[in-house]
Amino acid sequence: SAIDFMLCSVTFKKDMSLLQDPNIWIADSGATSHFTPRSDGMTNKKAVADGESVTIADGKNVQTKEFGDLPGILFDKNGKEVRKVTLTEVAVVPNGSFNLFSVTRMMKQGWKIGGDSSAMWLKKEDKKLVFDIVVETNRGLVFCMYLKRQNGEIAGATADHNKITVKEAHERLGHMSEDLT
């Protein structure tokens, strides 16, 4: 009897519900700091004094309870691991709705911005951050990147399983023995 072998690829939803994923970061030119409603996976946390706030795109000031660093693994729009990164001085805003990545903060630190209708990116020296997960809205595009929190699963992503026979796996995986396949 043939044994099935599962190959998985990761795909991201392209609708507004994706923005609720704890690992999706929205490129935001109006936020003064990177911020998230969740502190999962954060390191170097520092509590802040009452009344400290960050400014978001609509000009509102929102209260933050702490700042910290967020190490994680950056994935591209195809679910392929790109590299490890750490977002520093991320504000935790418990009543926030989304993870916002401050583009202007990065530009102030010397990063250059670029983009087109398929992606937006920030570059500095040999480093590049690509926001290649694009969510269409009624009025435009939201550019996002996927940063898997150090302790997180790939939430918001769905696995696409394809079954293949042992013979097909043997061919695809380098002609190892059928027992090893």
How does pLDDT run across 89-109, given as a tens digit for each residue? 999 988 888 899 999 999 999
30 or 111, which is more confident? 111
Which DSSP string corresponds to 127-148?
Answer: EEEEE-EEEE-SSSEEEEEEEE
DSSP-derived pairing of the beta strands 66-75 and 81-92? antiparallel
Those residues whose C-beta lies under 8 Å from the C-beta of residue 48, and which sit 6 or more positions away, are 64, 65, 66, 67
Q: For residues 27 and 179, what is the distance between their CA atoms, to the nearest angstrom?
A: 48
Average pLDDT score over the chain: 78
- Note the pLDDT tens digit of each residue in 21-74: 889 999 998 888 898 999 889 999 998 877 677 766 667 777 788 999 999 999
pLDDT of 124 > 90? The answer is yes
pLDDT at 7 (0 to 100): 36
Q: Taking residues 170-178, what's their average pLDDT? A: 54
* Residue 136 pLDDT class (50, 70, 90 cuts): confident
What's residue 126's pLDDT? Answer: 92
Determine the pLDDT at residue 122: 96
Tokens found for residue 172: 């695809």
Position 140 scores a pLDDT of 85
What is the average per-residue pLDDT within 135-158? 74
Give pLDDT, residue 152: 46
156 or 126: which carries more pLDDT confidence? 126
For position 11, what pLDDT does the model report?
53
- How high is the pLDDT of residue 159? 38
